[in-house]
A and B are shown apart, each in its own frame.
Chain A
């Protein structure tokens, strides 16, 4: 892994830890988690054990439990006045045809319905009828006691800005495949369709894009985030803040050669 190579080049020792090694966490200076994060997975245990023992960690526990729950994530963004599409939260008693019809009027048709703990776009659906609101709402409520309703924002791509410790780290565009509306789409027989990733130099990115992304990251914490945004006219709205963002060789890092160094320096508190 590139992070390991870079950290060694900077003079650090690097070990890879797996689940049964968690008891060793207190012996380290810093932990960098690369795994599916969720408060109910072992990655959260690693993060919280690190924090309890004063070991610096990406992702820190709060970033995980805020970002993994879209209700909490959007509440933080709203609280910090970060621009997001109109967003409302509902519970079981709200799932009525009447409410669905009202929403199609007020927030617009179609709107987007999300389960709070969706990832890989699996529990994010476009809603065009009141019946679909009730039916899909019930399905999503099996996963959590709240659901998210959001205004639909049309676009051809999502911007993804990597943010680390309150500063932009990399920028790219995730293209939405033709005839789809999500970057990742599951189709029959479990196949996943996704669009290409196009990287940009930070210097050439729209300053408003970067500023909005940094504000979104800061609304969550001081760690490493992948902020997804859509452009609306000259402005940008935040669609999601992800903890544990994907950093793939030749994609996110393509125009950000210092990405790995910066993450290692952050972990070792060597930033100045």
Chain B
């Protein structure tokens, strides 16, 4: 156990030393930071490479496509991935829904199952009806689940197919993926968000080690 911890911290130290920049099998730069928020360091890291005309995954546009929930849903749908019904609203919604705020100040999503506090929730998540919210309808008896996706792979076999599809469509190498599992065990895509490289587990780090070499 102790050894594994040492191994993990040295792998992470190595990643930091390389600014999380690695090369994949196809020699394309991969930004493995996992925290790609708009205007954050890793976003700028990709931007710098792009502005030097180097190829990198993800690009700034790919980051925005993945992190802006309604855009990610639309892109997934066009690529043939199952998504829930969703709508943008200034306040009105019908539970059960997953709500993602669309504004520069809030990221955290909420799952609203019952109608009782609908009005207050709408008011607070739209910041007094100033901003939009994105609502994903939850099918009856469904479950909301998140998993770690690393370069199209997941520790759990059950999620590998969707992890692979998401990597192909969105080019986000290190991500938390939110999915909805329907009552007939179907998987539908719901969102992509941060997964700090530092919080990858040993199996995920080992998988990455096999797929990449650190860039100089």
Could you list which residues of chain A lie within 8 angstroms of chain B, going by C-beta atoms? 19-20, 22-23, 38-42, 44-45, 48-49, 52, 61-62, 65, 69, 71-72, 75-76, 79, 91, 116-117, 143-146
Nearest CB of chain A from residue B152's CB, rounded to whole Å: 22
User: Which residues on the A side are within 8 Å of B68 (C-beta)?
Assistant: 39-40, 44-45, 48
Q: How far is the CA of A38 from the CA of B132 in the complex (A)?
A: 13
A45 pairs with B60, CB closer than 8 A: no
Q: Which residue of A lies closest to B43 (CB)?
A: A145
Which residues in window 44-81 of B have CB below 8 A to A?
Answer: 44, 47-48, 51, 60-61, 64-65, 68, 70-71, 74-75, 78
Q: A117–B38 Cα gap in the complex (Å)?
A: 10
CB of B142 within 8 A of chain A? no
B47 touches A45 (CB 8 A): no
Q: How far is the CA of A116 from the CA of B65 in the complex (A)?
A: 20
Set of chain A residues within 8 Å of B39, measured between Cβ atoms: 69, 116-117, 143-146
Cβ contacts under 8 Å, B188 to chain A: none
Residues from chain B with Cβ under 8 Å of A20 in the complex: 87-90
Does B70 lie within 8 Å of A40, measured CB to CB?
no
What are 17 inter-chain pairs, A to B, with CB distance below 8 A?
Answer: A19-B89, A19-B90, A20-B88, A20-B89, A23-B87, A23-B88, A39-B68, A42-B102, A42-B132, A48-B64, A65-B64, A72-B47, A72-B60, A75-B48, A116-B39, A144-B39, A145-B40
- Which residue in B48, B60, B74, B104 is a CB contact (below 8 Å) of A41? B104
- Could you list 11 further interchain pairs (A-B, Cβ under 8 angstroms) beyond the known A22-B70, A61-B61, A117-B39? A19-B88, A19-B89, A19-B90, A19-B132, A20-B88, A39-B38, A41-B103, A49-B70, A49-B71, A65-B64, A71-B47
- Measured between beta carbons, the chain B residues less than 8 angstroms from A61 are 61, 64
Q: Does B131 contact A (CB under 8 A)?
A: yes
Asked whether, in the complex, the Cβ of A40 is within 8 Å of the Cβ of B102, the reply is yes
Closest A-B pairs by Cβ, 6 of them: A144-B39, A40-B104, A75-B51, A42-B132, A145-B41, A19-B132
From B38, B65, B89, B131, residue with most partner A Cβ within 10 Å = B38
CA of A79 to CA of B65, assembled, Å:
25
Contact B64 A42 (CB under 8 A): no
In the complex the two chains form, is A52's CB within 8 Å of B88's CB? no
